[in-house]
């Protein structure tokens, strides 16, 4: 019988089209699973193993969210072993429930905060990175893999790249080509930056191409070609606000929230590359203006004063029959 590790490898070989990040998550999930219950054959996996797996995440100081992601990954592969592969009669972890996790409110930046981050950015390149995140909602990897050829006709095109002498292979997360309308000012800011990869330093691009030519370019480099990206962004916020107030990904949530206030949901999904409306709700935040509207609506009845005494409602036929029956019984 096939072991858990072998099942994982077999699954990844057949489903080679999955995103690299998804593959890494599945590998890690099975690594932790076999570390918890052992690399036993899949016919010996039991329902209790799922609970042990969840408990192991908490004992090793991993979050409930991480535990849920890994549990879903293992269950996905086991479901595949049931159907279509028919290696199992049923998924032994089918009844293992995920942790209930409290969803934190979505936070976005206001215009003043974005302006302040742009002001304290260390270079024109970083000013362009922050503004592009705010004005397009592009993911970090999409911005850092942006080339001059992706900027044309008043749009930024998010599209895959193949390995050449001047580029390294890279695919957008959603595996689709998108075009995002941008202002002439942002186009000018991006195209004035030196180099073919507009948001990367020339030295870094040369290093990436060298690693690529030798077959040593790792997936994490493709996703984030900029070294120390997070450290630099945190430094910008500390200079601007004295502390870190958010993440770079929060710029994408800000853009999504702004666009949903003015545009149909399906159009915003097209701009941001979200896979579904449900996914997009995790990027939407309520604004203070929304809260004021709630207060106004809730106070309308109070401000208008008490309404007139309600008129007597006609009695329901069933109630009249009930009253007649009671009076008849009372004689």
Q: Mind giving me the DSSP string for 246-281? A: --THHHHHHHHHHHHTTS-HHHHHHHHT-S-HHHHH
Among the ranges given (100-104, 113-117, 313-317), the one the predictor scored with the smallest mean pLDDT: 313-317
Q: Could you tell me the pLDDT band of residue 231, with boundaries at 50, 70 and 90?
A: very high
Q: Do the first three CATH levels of 4-82 and 111-260 match, i.e. the same topology?
A: no
pLDDT higher than 60, residue 322: no
- 293-320 pLDDT per residue, tens: 766 777 776 666 555 555 555 554 444 4
Q: What is the pTM of this model?
A: 0.73
pLDDT higher than 60, residue 251: yes
> Looking at domain 4-82, which of 3.40.720, 1.10.150, 1.10.357, 1.10.3470 is its CATH number?
1.10.150
According to the CATH classification, is domain 111-260 in 1.10.443.10? yes
Answer whether the bond into residue 22 is a cis peptide, omega within 30°: no
In order of 57, 183, 184, 253, the CA distances from 118 in angstroms are 39, 17, 18, 18
Q: Which helix (H) or strand (E) holds 155?
A: strand 155-158
According to DSSP, residue 192 is labeled T
Among the ranges given (16-20, 194-198, 226-230, 232-236), the one the predictor scored with the smallest mean pLDDT: 16-20
pLDDT higher than 60, residue 202: yes
In order of 20, 42, 94, 129, 230, the CA distances from 74 in angstroms are 17, 11, 10, 37, 30
- 256-299 pLDDT per residue, tens: 999 988 888 889 899 998 878 777 776 777 666 666 776 677 77
The larger pLDDT score, comparing residue 264 to residue 19, is at 264
The token pair that represents 44 in the structure block? 């010996």
Domain ranges in the chain are: 4-82, 111-260
Percent share of the chain, pLDDT over 70: 87
Residues 131, 108: Cα–Cα separation, whole Å = 14
Among the ranges given (81-85, 234-238, 269-273, 289-293), the one the predictor scored with the smallest mean pLDDT: 289-293
pLDDT higher than 50, residue 83: yes
pLDDT higher than 60, residue 73: yes
Span 35-55, average pLDDT: 96
Instruction: Specify the pLDDT at position 274.
Output: 84
Instruction: Specify the pLDDT at position 275.
Output: 79
- Mean pLDDT over all residues of the chain? 88
pLDDT higher than 50, residue 85: yes
pLDDT higher than 90, residue 327: no
- 174-193 pLDDT per residue, tens: 788 999 999 999 999 999 99
Taking the alpha carbons at both ends of the chain, their separation in whole angstroms is: 83
């Amino acid at each position: 019988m096939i072991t858990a590790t072998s099942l994982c490898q077999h699954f990844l070989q057949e489903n080679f089209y999955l995103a690299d990040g998804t593959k890494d998550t599945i590998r890690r999930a099975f690594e932790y699973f076999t570390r918890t219950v052992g690399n036993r054959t899949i016919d010996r996996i039991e329902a209790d193993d799922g609970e042990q797996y969840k408990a192991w995440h908490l004992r090793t100081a991993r979050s409930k969210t991480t535990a849920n992601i890994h549990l879903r990954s293992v269950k996905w592969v086991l479901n595949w072993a049931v159907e279509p592969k028919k290696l199992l009669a049923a998924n032994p972890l089918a009844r293992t429930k995920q942790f209930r996790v409290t969803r934190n409110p979505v936070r976005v930046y206001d215009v003043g905060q974005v302006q302040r981050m742009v002001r304290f950015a260390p270079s024109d390149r970083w000013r362009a990175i922050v503004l592009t995140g705010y004005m397009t909602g592009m993911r970090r990897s999409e911005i850092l893999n942006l080339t001059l050829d992706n900027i044309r006709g008043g749009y930024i095109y998010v599209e895959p790249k193949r390995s050449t002498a001047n580029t390294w292979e890279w695919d957008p997360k959603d595996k689709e080509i998108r075009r995002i309308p941008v202002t002439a000012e942002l186009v000018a800011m991006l195209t004035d930056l030196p180099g073919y990869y507009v948001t990367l330093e020339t030295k870094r691009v040369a290093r990436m191409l060298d690693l690529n030519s030798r077959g040593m370019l790792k997936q994490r480099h493709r996703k984030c070609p900029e070294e120390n990206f997070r450290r630099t962004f945190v430094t910008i916020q500390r200079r601007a606000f004295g502390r870190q107030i958010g993440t770079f990904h929060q710029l994408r949530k800000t853009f999504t929230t702004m666009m949903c206030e003015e545009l149909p949901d399906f159009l915003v999904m097209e701009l941001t590359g979200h896979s579904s409306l449900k996914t997009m709700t995790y990027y939407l935040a309520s604004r203070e203006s929304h809260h004021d509207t709630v207060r106004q609506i809730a106070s309308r009845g109070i401000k208008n004063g008490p309404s007139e005494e309600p008129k007597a409602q006609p009695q329901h036929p069933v109630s009249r029959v009930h009253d007649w029956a009671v009076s008849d019984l009372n004689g």
